[in-house]
Every structure is written in C-alpha cells, then in structure tokens.
Structure 1
C-alpha cells in the first residue's frame, strides 16, 4: 500500500488566538516603537504575534498563547486607564501570572497569598510604584496590613525600595508624622579607616542607599526640607538607643549586620501608631566572625507571633539587571 508524504508547505498551520482592540491609537502604543513590545512578549513566551489591522494574532502552543493573550489584554487595559507601557510593565505582567510559584521560607511554608484584588500601587510624590513579582505584591500588602514586617532575601529584590515607597505614601496620607530610615554602619568586607568630616560626613557613605531610594520618591528640595525639619531622619542603628518612635514609619535596612542586642534594642523602639519594617539578606553578613546576626535570631524568636509578617524573596524576584539573578543563583548553587 502506497503512502503519501506531505511536502513541508502542506504541514498543518499553527493554532492561533485572535484578539481585537477597538482603539487603534492605543494599539499602536501597545505594540510599541517598531513593535518592540510585541517582540519582547514573543521572546519571553516563545510565541509569534502578527498584527492585522486592529487585531493581534498569537500563534504557538495552547498554554503560551493563552498567557500571551492575557498579558496583551492586561497591557491594553493599562493603556485604557491612562497609563503607559514600559519594558518593566511587560516584565511585571509576565512574572505575575497565575502560574507563578509562591516563594517559601527555609522550612518550606508558603509565604505568599495569591491576592485577587487587582494591582497593588504605591503613590509617591514623583512616581507610581507597582510591584513586579508576586512576592513583591505580597510584601507591599503586608507592609500596609502589619505594624511589624520583615523582608528577607537576596540583593535586588526591592525590599528596601518598596518599604521606603510605602513609608512615603503613608507620610503623604497623614498616617504617620515622620519617616525614620536606619541601617548598621558596618563595612562590607574592607576597612575604610577614619573618615573625614563631622558626624554626618562620617555616616553618610553608609546611609547612601537610603538617600537614593528616598530621592526616587520625593523631589530633591522637598526631601531636603523634610530632613531639615526632622520629619525624615536617616541615621545609623546606634543612634536609635533610648528613643521611642511614635507615629513613625521606621525602616531598618541591612538588618543581617545588626547584632542580637542591637536588633532587640531596635525592635523595642516601636511606639504608638508606628510601623516598622526590617529588611535583610542572610547571605551578606559582614559581622565579625563569631558574632551572631540579629536578623537570624529575630526570625527564629518572632516567627509565630501574630501580626508580625515574614516575607521571603528568591533570585526569581530580582528586578535589577537580569545578570544579577544569574549571579545570585551561581553563588547559591556553589554554597549548596
């Protein structure tokens, strides 16, 4: 019995999903300059997107097609609401899909609830900040919901950045009267010796990451005025002793470099009407050998106290350059 082989041109066509967008002007913005937004989605999801008039046809396997269609519709809805579409928005939509895996703590417990209430947004004086991963979304919600929250994970996952954004938001809304940002003045593996200048000059190099985050959310003159009036304070951890921090939004950054006694001292500064956020990275402890990290002790001792939230990040939540995630994964694999 003879068999007939179909030539390549007779192969069955790829299945497609067709999306129709009524506003051609918004569709142009959705596609991006030279269709760069479509190209980005194609590369991330291994699909092909064709434009025909006011329609987009998505070709590929069923799961990828469905996911690409969800992302395109979400981005179009964003444009309809008056917002723009940037590469970061595409990255956020890809990362925050329904199939995203929740982060877990070392004990294996899930730490992220999949929220169904729509996007989470933080309004500041200079910009609108939106979480880019499910872990970040859960973290931001916990900052609004809890008086004491921990954010633990590798560099570049937005722990401090988002905490400062929430602090600025709460300050603007009148929920707190001041913002206090602190971190231990610990050198990262090298001795800098005595630094010149007055006390502010000596500690400012250690505090610079906090200044950077703050300047992203407030105009420079306004930030300077608020710091002059002590409504915003940026100070080393050692300066917190003896204070009661009432109606303040307090952030302790690089908490893995606080000793156990310093951590206890800081946590007990919490006053009426205040919020406190502790951020740190277990893998970047710069304390002298033999000195235990206060972050690890706080995690062990406070984990089961109600109204204290612990939020965990992994390399999948890194939102800096893509190479940062790869570098973190390489070091983690080597340690394992």
Structure 2
C-alpha cells in the first residue's frame, strides 16, 4: 500500500553527478541541453543542471535518474540526438500511464549495456548513408534478422521494428544478396492498430 510517507520519499529531489569530460557531457545533454529537456518532458519531471550535477524533481525522479544514467553510458561513444532520447523512452515504456506499471518499471529496470557504434560492426547500406542500430535492442534485432531466415519483432510502436526490417531488405538488394522482395499484408482484425505507420487502417493495408 502506498502511504503519504512513501509518496513523499519518492517525490524528494534526486541528485545525479555525471562522470566524464566535457565532450562526454555534451554528447549526453545535446545542444543547449535539448536532450535533457526531452527527457524531462517525456517523464514529467523537473530537471536542472549545473555543470555535471543534475537535480531531478517529480514523482518519477528516481526512475528518471536511472534512465539518465543509462543515456550517460551510451553517450560515452557518440553524441545522442533528440531522436535517441525519444526512442529510448519508448523502449523502456515510460509513456505508459498506469501507476502500477511505472512502479514495477522503477524496481525492475536493469540498465542496458552501452552501444558502441564503431565496434559493433553492423551497418546497413543505403543510397544516402550507412544505417547503424541506435540501441542494444535494435542491434540484437538486426543480428537476428541477418542470422536467421525468419525473425519476429515484438515491441512498442516507434521503436524501429518495421523501419529496420525494411532497411535490412534494401541492404540485401543493394548487396545482391537477394533478387526479389516480397511484401505481404498483415493479418489483423478490422480496426486493430498497425504499428507506427501513418494513416488509418485502409491506408496502411491497401
């Protein structure tokens, strides 16, 4: 049972001291701290920074501090963008509104290992530029697609499942690994939501 004392304890400000040099900090925070603002908006917390010291206030302050540390680990290797922050928040389910799920997530979420784009070695060839996975889960997803004949991707909308699958298909065509791509309609009930694609059901399927 949630008591007034436990609610007050959760609402106390959380202070995070970030290690690393100025480049590492800039990789995390983004231009004019844009990444931090995106994190604060996405988690409905108040976030302020003085140098390497970040103060977080709000009901989800403790969870936000853990998410911030996770992004901090990823920022060792590359500069994070607003898209990286949004994608990371979607992957850990921050957008879910149920209080029970938020509390479970705060208790059970384990930090993912940082993703090193240079050492990972996965790159999909396109006409504009090479595409690389942005998160450890995307990396695992691509590895499975490349190593297996059939791969099922399950997860929240907006995490790159369809986008990465299409990118893999285009990459295979560019490398002459395959000669033909076969696109099939999803087998769903009428009215069911179909991922992150724009438009209504008819526009997505037809």
TM-score computed with the length of structure 1 as normaliser: 0.39
User: Within the alignment, does 1:41 sit opposite 2:45 as a pair?
Assistant: no
Could you tell me how far apart the structure 2 residues matched to 1:152 and 1:37 are?
Answer: 27
CA RMSD across the alignment? 4.4
TM-score computed with the length of structure 2 as normaliser: 0.59
Q: Which runs of 5+ in 1 are unaligned?
A: 1-10, 102-113, 182-250, 257-279, 285-312, 332-336
Could you tell me how far apart the structure 2 residues matched to 1:34 and 1:117 are?
Answer: 26
Q: Match of 2:66?
A: 70
Could you tell me how far apart the structure 2 residues matched to 1:49 and 1:156 are?
Answer: 25
Instruction: Provide closer, same or farther for how the CA distance between residues 283 and 66 of structure 1 changes in structure 2, counting only shifts above 3 A.
Output: same
Instruction: Provide closer, same or farther for how the CA distance between residues 60 and 100 of structure 1 changes in structure 2, counting only shifts above 3 A.
Output: closer
Could you tell me how far apart the structure 2 residues matched to 1:158 and 1:22 are?
Answer: 30
Q: Is 1:29–1:85's contact at 8 Å kept on the other side of the alignment?
A: yes
Q: Which runs of 5+ in 2 are unaligned?
A: 1-7, 97-109, 202-206
Q: Name the structure with the higher strand share.
A: 1
Could you tell me how far apart the structure 1 residues matched to 2:35 and 2:50 are?
Answer: 16
Instruction: Provide closer, same or farther for how the CA distance between residues 170 and 72 of structure 1 changes in structure 2, counting only shifts above 3 A.
Output: farther
What do the CA deviations read for 1:238-266 (whole angstroms, capped 9, x no partner)? xxxxxxxxxxxxx422x12xxxxxxxxxx
Alignment of 1:156-175 (within 5 A): 158=160, 160-167=162-169
Q: Match of 1:225?
A: none
Instruction: Provide closer, same or farther for how the CA distance between residues 133 and 75 of structure 1 changes in structure 2, counting only shifts above 3 A.
Output: closer
Q: Match of 2:182?
A: 252
Alignment of 1:21-32 (within 5 A): 21-32=19-30
What do the CA deviations read for 1:112-166 (whole angstroms, capped 9, x no partner)? xx9x7765974123233326796x677545423431346699x977555322433
Q: How many residues align?
A: 170
Q: Match of 2:148?
A: 146
What do the CA deviations read for 1:79-126 (whole angstroms, capped 9, x no partner)? 211x2211110012112227899xxxxxxxxxxxx9x77659741232
Q: Is 1:96–1:133's contact at 8 Å kept on the other side of the alignment?
A: no
- When Rg is computed on C-alpha atoms for both structures, the one with the higher figure is 1
Instruction: Provide closer, same or farther for how the CA distance between residues 84 and 66 of structure 1 changes in structure 2, counting only shifts above 3 A.
Output: same
Q: Match of 1:94?
A: 89
